[in-house]
Chains A and B, each alone.
Chain A
Amino acid sequence: MEPNDTYYWDGPLPETQAPSTTPDPWKVTKVVGKALVRIDAYDRVSGSAVYPSDVVLPDMLHAAVLSCPHAHAMVKKVDTGDAEKMPGVHAILKDGVVGTNIPWFAGRGGFSSRLFDPHCRYEGDEVAVVAADTIYQAWDAVRAIKVEYDVLKYAVTVEDALKTDAPAIRDSGNAIAPPPPYQRGDVEAAFKTAGVIAVEHTFHTPCELHNPMEVHGCVAKWDGPRLTIWESTQGVYAVQQGVARALNMPLANVRAIGHYMGGGFGGKLSHGKYSVMAALLAKKSGRPVRLFLSREQVCQSMGNRPANTIVLKAAVQKDGTLVAFQSKVTGSGGAYSEGGTGGVDFVIRELYKCPNVQCENQGVFTNAGPERAFRAPGHPQGAWALEIMMDALAVRIGMDPVEFRLKNISTVSQSRNGNPPYTSTGFADCLAQGAKAFGWKEARAKAPLPSHIKRGVGVAGGMWQGGSGGPPSTAIVKLFGDGSANLNLGASDIGCGTKTWGAQIVSEELGVPVERISVEHADTGTTPFATPSGGSKTVPTESPAIRAAAIDVKQQLLAMAAEQLKLPQAELELRGAEVVSKSDPAKKVALGQIQAFGRRGLILGVGYRGPNPQGKAINPFGAQFAEVEVNTKTGEIKVLRFLAAHDSGRILNPLTFRNQVFGGITMGIGFGLTEDRVMDREHRGKLLTANLHDYKMPTALDAPADKTCLTIDPHDTECNTTGTKGVGEPATIPTAPAVANAVFHATGLRLTDAPMSPARVVAALAAQKTAPAGQRRG
């Protein structure tokens, strides 16, 4: 992403002051890189961690939202008379109530909706909200509200929304004005080049729901003019900004706290309507309010990864040199998002060396819940098309899929202006070393089983557009007189171990044992500004700032010791709990004996995130290998094992890194095999998979136990001062196509639609049997 154009922050990113020093990369590390148990493991397994939905305040009310039950409707009348008289009910908000006329869903043409907009454009649009003494009473009251709707014609698919008689979902029309096509080289001419082999496939990807285990919501409390919100969020500063703007309040009077949160995956990068509703209800009732959505409402309203149709055409020479890619992507971000196709074509443009590329995108409004950024927006969809295509091309030219990919590695960013080189790319190593560790050649050559169970292996590569991190970030480290330390940063720990590796960096620089470091984070009242944790950028954004803050403490300490020892500061270094002369180790002073430090009792260091290098591109890469079994009688696909080789730069904590890689694989298996938002297209336009039974996320039986994580560290000395790149998103990008390619290896079925459900597999097997041999797809 360009620094000022991000999906995770509304408006231009604030700047960060330039750091005073740019330390050299670590050579040998003692604490960084160790597989330490998380410093908050105790809290999370004991039940003592207080998640936002656990917050209990004296006199707190509980709120529930009334959602529109229709795919498309106009609210004519909302009668809350009965509900208001019900026991325990203290406040009800609906359209027309003073203070609720708040614009919502910003886009190119301004706001397209408001907090309670009578024009409900999808099943789940908010109509009213109730606060009551108990959550049971709140839902009783919601059910007692009488709403008159004008039910309108709906369109929940791209095809339906583009029909000439489609209902007008938005005044601007259902087709969103497309961005200019991406273009390099001459695609048309390239496809006509003599001797090239062209392959075209149409791919479909499922609409995926984030469904974090903790539903979206918050607790809101007023103290006079000041509002405190405990929100399940990836970014407390985004919540602060969003709520302050909606309520026209000073930023300083909105305090957002998000110490723990139960999963986000991009769906909790910012506030929601619920944040503002909770604040308004708390104001109206004069009592704190807890408002968490139901699981059904999360499925309807709290974001999704849009389904995409991707027509991809590729050309290759017989020797395996890629010649051209041409993609046409359509998709819908629902009724409000102007995206629907964002990020899909990035891997097509960027991952493999290819001189001629053209990409077109068409977004469409539909009567469906709005998309939200979802773990590597667009990338799993793009990789699904690109990596299955790469497999098909390899088959057509009779080349090993790993060899074919290795032949087309790029060391420069082809789609960025000026084709800047990557600071590092471990992609070739991910493929080559991954193949070796996986036993690729042997597995590929294994004789087929004489059974209806077919076994196969597949590979896919991937990269993530983000993952570089960058300013802004500020971190504060406090070293106390007793040698213990506190790290203070604004970033959320969404489950990726932020607090733990942050403490490891402080320990590395200051020699303070991790057990003597505490972390204060994710609170706009007490911690410095941070962008939301997302985009695989928390490590590369925050870690250099943390390191700089610890070094700032160290420099102050050395200056104090230098004065006391009467030695030049440059002559001294910190070793454990002592400041020692580099040339004469006999000259030293223990931390506790540094008089200036003792008098002050505290050293406060501040660290800033420096800019990324000019003229360079920074991206994480990865390759994944899958082994599957396909039951050709039932169509079931069983994933037997996975190996993931990832270049995410330096690994700060291999334990949490590996866990995150495995988590990405698990989510990718969901994308490839089980997850699918289904809408009732024919009858009412409602969401049919609004629960965790019908919306199938991988369980312990779907994720293979046999997973291997191979770390490829290219020793990047340019990307930033910790040599790190992100991993959260890269880990889920290549997974599904690796499975699809393994299914092809097992069965000869070239499946292009995800999820590869048993029904689809059985249908494809039936078609395969009847197709003439010459027409089988490559």
Chain B
Amino acid sequence: MDHDDKERDIRLSPGVSRRGFIASVGSGAMGVAAVATLGATTPAEVPADASAAQIDTSDTMSTIVINVNGRRHKMLVEPRWSLLYVLRDRLNLTGTKVGCERGECGACTVLVDGKARYACLTLAVEADGRDITTVEGLMKGEDLGTTQQAFAEEDAFQCGYCTPGQVMAAEGLIRSNPSPTLDEIRQGMSGNICRCGAYAHIFTAVAKAADLKRQGR
């Protein structure tokens, strides 16, 4: 595992991370793990969220700075905390879901430096200096983002619980492969389980999202 890029400036447009960790998004994401086309913009300097920062101040805690949906958070974390825990329980970004906490279901999928990752298998300290995009970060203000819109229109979910993870996996897939074939879509989405079994609609939604994005939407 390679940690030599730890010191890089978080405000610079990030390069492709070589930090693999164990959080690759199943066989699906590995199948499309080509060079990511990064859509993340340079995050604005925002004061750290007061509600989120410095809740516990024990000696064992580490300081991290993460950029979540374009907002900078400086916070103390325990080394064992997962990124998923920090997003949901510290930053109250509950759009990212928890399903298995061991990298098997994909409900917690987020983008780390533009690439789909399981937040449950990414330690918060490992996310230090990274750009994190959650499902909330795909919104265009009050409007749905392109991928979200395609999921809504194609009815690509039932209970909707795995959906934020599915949407983020689709977003990561399309950013790295703007014109995925059906086989590439199936492979790319195979790290995200939908127990309701909405896969057929998910496939059409991902294809539609890719189409719309190619049209610049």
Contact = CB atoms under 8 A, between A and B. Distances in A.
Q: Which of B99, B101, B153, B186 has the most CB of A within 10 A?
A: B99
B75 interface: no
Interface in A53-68: 53-54, 56, 62
Given A136-B80, A660-B158, A703-B200, A212 B134 contact: no
A705 B200 contact: yes
B192 interface: yes
Interface in B128-180: 134-136, 139, 144, 148-149, 151-153, 155, 157-164, 167
Given A47-B136, A495-B158, A667 B197 contact: yes
B199 A495 contact: no
B92 interface: yes
Report whether over half of chain A's contact residues are helix, strand or loop; otherwise say mixed.
loop
A775 to B, nearest CB: 39
Interface stretch (A307-315, A692-700, A746-754, A758-766): A692-700
A667 B78 CA distance: 39
B94 A295 contact: no
B197 A213 contact: no
Interface stretch (B12-20, B37-45, B102-110, B111-119): B102-110
A265 B197 CA distance: 12
Contacts of B200: 659, 662, 703-705, 707
Given A495-B160, A659-B198, A697-B193, A213 B105 contact: yes
Contacts, number: 186
Q: Which of A40, A53, A667, A692 has the most CB of B within 10 A?
A: A692
B216 to A, nearest CB: 21
B157 A692 contact: no
B59 to A, nearest CB: 13
Given A214-B161, A692-B104, A698 B197 contact: yes
Q: Which of A43, A264, A660 has the most CB of B within 10 A?
A: A660
Given A51-B97, A136-B80, A663-B197, A700 B159 contact: no
B195 A211 contact: yes
Nearest to B199: A703
Contacts of A42: 144, 152
B197 A664 contact: yes
Contacts of B198: 659, 662-663
A409 interface: no
B187 interface: yes
A62 B90 CA distance: 13
A704 B197 CA distance: 11
B125 interface: no
A135 B85 contact: yes
B194 interface: yes
B94 A214 contact: no
B202 A691 contact: no
A47 B195 contact: no
A295 B139 contact: no
Contact of B107 (A46, A48, A56, A213): A213
Given A44-B157, A263-B159, A214 B144 contact: no
B196 A45 contact: no
Q: Which of A44, A51, A134, A214 has the most CB of B within 10 A?
A: A44
Given A46-B95, A51-B97, A663 B152 contact: no
Nearest to B136: A47
10 contacts: A45-B135, A213-B99, A213-B107, A213-B159, A260-B159, A260-B160, A495-B158, A663-B197, A705-B199, A707-B200
Given A47-B135, A48-B95, A136-B80, 14 more contacts: A37-B155, A43-B160, A44-B163, A45-B152, A49-B160, A261-B161, A262-B160, A263-B159, A494-B158, A663-B196, A691-B104, A697-B195, A700-B194, A700-B203
Leading 8 A-B pairs by shortest Cβ distance = A47-B95, A262-B161, A666-B197, A44-B160, A495-B158, A495-B159, A663-B197, A54-B94
